[in-house]
A and B are shown apart, each in its own frame.
Chain A
Amino acid sequence: MNPVPLQAWLIVSGLLFSLGLFAVMTRRHGVAVLIGIELMLNAANINLVAFSHYLSPNGQINTVLDGQIFALMVIALAACEVAVGLAIILRLYWTKGIMNPDDASEMKW
């Protein structure tokens, strides 16, 4: 068995999530904000895999793998999110010359 307690993994992923949140809130460039979002998604993935490793009922093989399949789906959706996000950042720069997401405030009421 893995002697490291579940809480240790959860704390590491919580710290990583907080770092990502900090990046999303403070960064002044769209790409850097995307990097923060990636960190947050990865923190969530660590949680999924850790929980399925430690807390699967009966040790059924399917329930151990549930978390991993969930994490695989998250990775696929993260790839979508990065592609669309970068496309939006490039489009914003080409049409308006904006790189700081705070400046794209036309739709802000």
Chain B
Amino acid sequence: MYGIPATTLVEYAAFLSVAALTLLGGLGAVVSRRVFPACLWLLLSLLGIAGMYALLAGHLMVAVQILVYAGAITVLIIFAVMLLQRATGRIIMAENQHLIGGVIAAGFMALLIIVGVLTARFEPVHIPEGPTEFAGQNVQLIGHLLMTQYLLPFEVVSVVLLAALVGAMVLARREPDE
């Protein structure tokens, strides 16, 4: 490996490990026969994606990914699985059906994306400095942007979140006669 700086090797090794973690978790989440282990595989995949954000974005994305995705969303899914397992009194299974169609569709999709990515020409207008770029002020700058340039989308998203959570509570509430 003469001539390649050590930092390049470290970057490649980091990329390959988080990519492997993500894809391994995704594969486990997709093929695991029981739903509960699938949730844990999903958690592994989400943590791998947090590692990707650590290489590409700043601290904030990593923190949000771990807190909201790995923390809140996975826990919500696991909670629902446990509730269903308790209600039905058996372990929830999710066998794969229509295997051939699924393999064909997903394989074709992957092929299409890979061919498209490899044949497209991306002109890097700007080569960033690396993961530590704007590192110290990442959170500060995103907060500022959310309160100025992106104020309207931010508020709309918060209203949507409120409406969705109220709607979910109303939907999931169990009537006494059920």
Using a CB–CB distance below 8 Å, which chain A residues touch chain B?
A: 1-4, 6-12, 14-23, 25-29, 31-32, 34-36, 38-39, 42, 45-46, 49-50, 53-59, 61-62, 64-65, 67-69, 71-73, 75-84, 86-91, 93-95, 99, 102
Contact = CB atoms under 8 A, between A and B. Distances in A.
A55 B122 contact: yes
A28 B154 CA distance: 36
Interface in B134-170: 134, 138, 141-142, 145-146, 149-150, 153-154, 157-158, 160-161, 164-165, 167-169
* Residue of A73, A77, A87, A94 with most chain B CB atoms under a 10 A cut-off: A87
Given A31-B35, A80-B165, A42 B49 contact: yes
25 contacts: A4-B12, A4-B55, A11-B117, A16-B45, A17-B110, A19-B29, A22-B103, A25-B98, A25-B106, A28-B94, A32-B94, A42-B49, A55-B126, A61-B141, A69-B142, A69-B150, A73-B153, A73-B154, A75-B65, A78-B73, A83-B165, A86-B77, A86-B168, A87-B167, A87-B169
A27 B96 contact: yes
Name the 6 nearest CB pairs between A and B, nearest first. Answer: A14-B113, A80-B164, A29-B94, A32-B94, A26-B102, A22-B106
Interface of B: 7-8, 11-12, 15, 19, 22-23, 26-27, 29-30, 35, 38-39, 42, 45-46, 49, 52-53, 55-58, 60-61, 64-65, 68-69, 72-73, 76-77, 80-81, 83-84, 87-88, 92-99, 101-103, 105-107, 109-110, 113-114, 117-118, 122-131, 133-134, 138, 141-142, 145-146, 149-150, 153-154, 157-158, 160-161, 164-165, 167-169, 171-172, 174-175, 178
Given A7-B117, A35-B38, A72-B61, A57 B56 contact: no
B92 A58 contact: no
Nearest to A82: B73
Nearest to A39: B26
A68 B80 contact: no
Nearest to A63: B126
Contacts of A23: 29-30
